[in-house]
Amino acid sequence: MSGRSFLVIGSLALAGCSQVEDEFSIAFPSQASLESTSEIAVTAFVPLQTPEDSDTPNFVEGRLVGTFPPTRMIDPETIQTFPNLGTVLRFRNKQPYPFEGSDWVMEFGKPDTGDPNNPWGAAMLYIEARGEARTPDKKASLTTATLLAGTTCVRTKEASHPDGQLDKAVKKACRLLADPEGDGEAVTVMLEPVAPPEFTLEPCDGRGVLAGAKNQELAPGPAVCLSAIRCDNVQGGTGDCFECEQTNSACDNTSNVPIVFAVDQVDGTAGPERQVVLTDEQGRAQAPIRLDDCTSDVRVTAQVLGRTTPPVEYVMECVDEIEEFECAADMQLGDDFMPESVSTVPGIEGACSPGNVDACAHVAILRDDTERTRLELWHPMRSSPIVQEFAEKTAVAVHGFHYVEADGLGNPASRPMVAVATSGRQNGDSKLRIYVFEFVNGALVPHDGGTGELPTQCTGWFCGSTTACDMMGNCGAGETCYEGVCVEDNADAMCPMQPAGCACEIQGVGFQTRVTFVARDRDDDGLADLTVATEIRAEVLLHLTSLAGPNELYGLDTCECGRYGQTPNSIALGTFGGAAPDPTLPDLFIGATGGSYIRYGTRLSNNRSTLQ
């Protein structure tokens, strides 16, 4: 179902005492998009951009203006400062919608037809349907966002440009304005969804089932993820793939897409009935839903606002509500900020007491207050937490562990540690950063005596690529072949001459990215090596302990990469056995989109181990 509203644009171009007017209408693609719109915004500009190395401008197509990073060249928020762009004739003129009456008359300045690069007086109108949407951050506050958009191009004069290609492009895209005394027909501008149809929506966990307690809020609520197959990853680049013309960072940023979540229930009060949520940079949108008594069936759907294709549909399973907890001994740790991640920092066995709280296990809470990441270590016998702050960082994950592992001689694990994963807070800064602190004498001490940050741009490979090989083992001296690549037997060696793909650094980490820490000895020195994986990249980072001395933990040269054929959602280390099990070496479990896998530990000739 669609709705239509007329916009009358008047005083479009002024010439002496005469004026040129044009009339057009806008059309909404769906009833939901019409009902979600609370204002219409129009931005008018001259659609010509002159490259720095040319005197002839390029015509800026309407599809290149928008709020969706993979498709936009010009952001309407920053159009006034976009380099070498033609004059902005009117910036985002907004009016509440529905209009008072049925029409809206808007004026903007006449394009300069004396400009030799714009003899037609061409003007592009970028039209937005805007409305209320939840932001993707933790507080999910409400904002006014672009829900749909469309463009139309007009020219005020019949003229020609000496550059035939430019002249043809402008005349094809920009219609000549009607004579005010003539009977020109109104033009309809179709408002379209923010994201192109190649971007599809799926449940983030791959399942379309929700379970929740009656008369309570779903925790977590339904979450959908927007993604597309990139044409550069498809042989031949055909089919429903997306051809991205922007920078790599823009192509990977799928934010600003409004997703409408709807609750469909007969004679019920579950809700909200409809809400719009913006996707984050990873294309994820999650909605809060509160159930009623589930007397009638509850159906939850999610769809890119404006699309008429079948939505993502969730089957709702209701369970009896949780009526009461016995919470007489509850105590609140800190303020009301919701933790991003929690873990336990282990204590020293047999040493915990009221007089030695440092030896007790602590709760590690990692939270984000929208300005910084804050790590807090709490124990009920402490009146305040032990705190470490990370300015301008986004909280991702925290993990507590013992640095010295228990041995077969009965020596217990010792030296409590805590590892923290963050990413940058500024746009474009999505690098994974890992910090390690030792918990000693009531303080968090950086493992390196500095900031505690571990190196994350690794050039050594625990399992990786230097040269392609086959199972016959066509590798050079000192190398071994597995997984189709040659790996040097001394896995600490730098890749020869740094070939492309040799160094790895995990990017694309953002809010709610899943990061898995595993702290376990992988090189038989009795000290916990730190293995880190994300759902973003196939690389797994391995931080080996340093054997140089008792006061050194993770050295600058101990970072190595692994790549095991999957992008891991989760990892675990353990002695799982196999065709040729080695009880002294840990094996690696990988949980990925394609299923679950085991890589068995195998010892190399240099007494190091690898995974096969």
Q: What is the pLDDT of residue 551?
A: 62
Query: Residue 19's pLDDT band (boundaries 50, 70, 90)?
Result: low
Between 134 and 339, where is the model more confident? Answer: 134
Mean pLDDT of 476-483: 57
Question: In the prediction, which pLDDT does 329 show?
Answer: 58
- Nearest CA among 573, 575, 488 for reference residue 529: 573
- pLDDT of the residue at 13: 39
**465 in Cβ contact with 421 (< 8 Å):** no
The C-alpha atoms of residue 49 and residue 44 are separated, in whole angstroms, by 14
- pLDDT at 399 exceeding the cut of 90: yes
**Mean pLDDT throughout 173-183?**
68
Show me where the domains of the chain are located: 4-193, 200-319
Give 334-387 pLDDT, tens digit per residue.
Answer: 666 778 899 999 998 888 888 888 889 999 999 887 778 999 999 888 888 999
Whether residue 101 has pLDDT greater than 60: yes
Position with higher pLDDT, 153 vs 205: 153
Q: What token pair was written down for 306?
A: 């404006």
Per residue in 74-93, pLDDT (tens digit) is 999 999 999 889 889 888 88
- Which are the contacts of 205, defined by CB distance < 8 A and separation ≥ 6? 223
Residue that the structure tokens 């001395």 belong to: 549
> In the predicted model, is pLDDT for residue 303 greater than 90?
yes
> How much of the chain, in percent, has pLDDT values that exceed 70?
79
What sign for the dihedral angle of Cα 390, 395, 399, 403? negative
Q: How many CB atoms lie within 10 A of CB 116?
A: 9
CA distances from 126 to 2, 249, 279, 290, 471 (A): 20, 24, 22, 37, 58
Which residues, 6 or more positions from 356, have their beta carbon under 8 angstroms from its beta carbon?
A: none
Q: What pLDDT is stored for residue 47 in this prediction?
A: 94
Q: Are 238 and 344 in contact (CB under 8 A)?
A: no
Q: What is the pLDDT of residue 319?
A: 86
Q: How confident is the model at residue 28 (pLDDT cuts 50, 70, 90)?
A: very high
**Is beta strand 479-482 parallel, antiparallel or unpaired with respect to 4-15?**
unpaired
pLDDT band at 490 (very low <50, low <70, confident <90, very high): very low
Is the pLDDT assigned to residue 206 strictly greater than 90?
no
Closest-CA residue to 136 (of 196, 55, 224, 54)? 224
Please tell me the pTM assigned to this model: 0.56
Give the per-residue pLDDT at 501.
40
CATH class of 200-319: mainly beta
CA 327 to CA 329: how far, in whole Å? 5
Residue 401 confidence (pLDDT) = 94
E runs forming strands in 425-567 = 433-440, 443-446, 460-463, 479-482, 485-488, 515-520, 529-534, 539-543, 559-563
Identify the pLDDT of residue 499: 38
Average pLDDT for the chain: 81
Q: Is the per-residue pLDDT at 36 higher than 90? A: yes
Q: What is the per-residue pLDDT for 324?
A: 63
